[in-house]
Amino acid sequence: MWNKALDRMLDGFIVTGRLTLTYPDGATRRYGPGQGADVQITLCDPALPRRLVRAPELALGEGYMDGTLTLGGDDLDGFFTLVTQNAAHPPVGLRALDMRLRRWRRWIDQANPAHRSRANVAHHYDLSGALYDLFLDADRQYSCAYFRDPGMTLEQAQAAKKHHIAAKLCLSPGMEVFEIGCGWGGMALTLAQDYGVKVLGVTLSVEQHKIATERAARAGLSDRVRFALADYRSIRGQFDRIVSIGMFEHVGAPHFTEYFDQIRDRLTPDGVALIHTIGRAGPPGATSPWITKYIFPGGYVPALSEMAAAVEVAKLYPTDLEVWRLHYAETLRHWHDRFAANADRARALYDDRFCRMWRYYLKACEHTFRHNHQCVYQFQLARRQDAVPLTRDYLYRDAAPEALRAAQ
């Protein structure tokens, strides 16, 4: 029964490329016209056809993690090319119903009050610091790098990202900056050291807070950089500048207005904010159930329309909007290749299942950026429309301070 149901589902889903599927009973079927990606999958568990029909995204990821779904040549690139290109077609039947139900459920799944936000952050960011050292750059920048030149290394592109954002903040020495989601402290330390500002960075990750605080002390910047283990909504006072990099994806759709209201209230009257976030180049959607369960509980990638609506309600001026397209795909490619090269060390930290999960996550995200209408938005916001120069020329007059030139 379930083999036949899966057969019908794949017949309708694979309209580009070619899938050769071996069922648990040994039967083999081919799907798709044959142009494009050519992928071989073997199902080793008799329960998998049922699970794939009922919850395909979740079952695919779990099958790969468990080793009960194997790919010919372990070809994750080919697999995700096939999946994302076919997923780009309008959903029909059960898939369309599933998408509608997920969009409805997001108001429950993404309700992120402070206590739930802490648990969500701990799930991902309080993993062993040694894990992140296996694939991130030395500064532990865990967000999209900026490849101004295709030949840049990951380290150079992450430095370029930081200084491009700093340019949009229009900084002057002595300014006070509030960083929402400070990670392991790299951005805050760069702003203090290279631009002479004071920074308050907040995170909900115990591990990130510990490491960021230690880094500030080692750099002799504890008098100018302070890290707090706090929810961004609990911060009071006003700041000349606000920066938030790769954190808005964890806010959740029910809290978008609350987030931008906090941005407005924490800015001085002539203040400027820069929000760097993954976004959808399409209408609002829903988070993959596999990503929600295993990688980013409570997370959601917003559509531009959803962000713009919340900015309007907060009565903030959008003074600049920049779209980064394939930069995150390239960042994720670097991360995956570094992680794969350190697979033995990762296995020593966790186990085979975790390593397969992490590779699946990195490759799934890379191909979503390559093929499935996902990008990065940088919103520059202000309370006054004349808070920044009236043209964008200032961003490129002095593209980077000495620190970036040294990285190159």
DSSP string, 237-305: S-EEEEEEES-GGGT-GGGHHHHHHHHHHHEEEEEEEEEEEEEESSS-----HHHHHHT-TT--PPBHH
Examine the residue annotation and report whether 182 is marked as an active-site residue of this protein.
Answer: no
Beta strand 225-229 with 198-203 is parallel
Q: Are 44 and 69 in contact (CB under 8 A)?
A: yes
Q: Indicate which residue of 144, 355, 365, 375 is catalytic.
A: 365
Q: Report d(CA 201, CA 120) in Å as an integer.
A: 19
CA atoms within 13 A of residue 313's CA, in its CB half-sphere = 14
Distance linking the first and last C-alpha atoms of the chain: 59
In this structure, which amino acid lies at residue 182? C
Q: Is the dihedral of CA 306, 307, 308, 311 positive or negative?
A: positive
In this structure, which amino acid lies at residue 59? A
Q: Are 251 and 278 in contact (CB under 8 A)?
A: no
Q: Report d(CA 4, CA 70) in Å as an integer.
A: 20
Closest CA to 286 of 104, 87, 116, 111: 104
Give the active site residues. Answer: 365
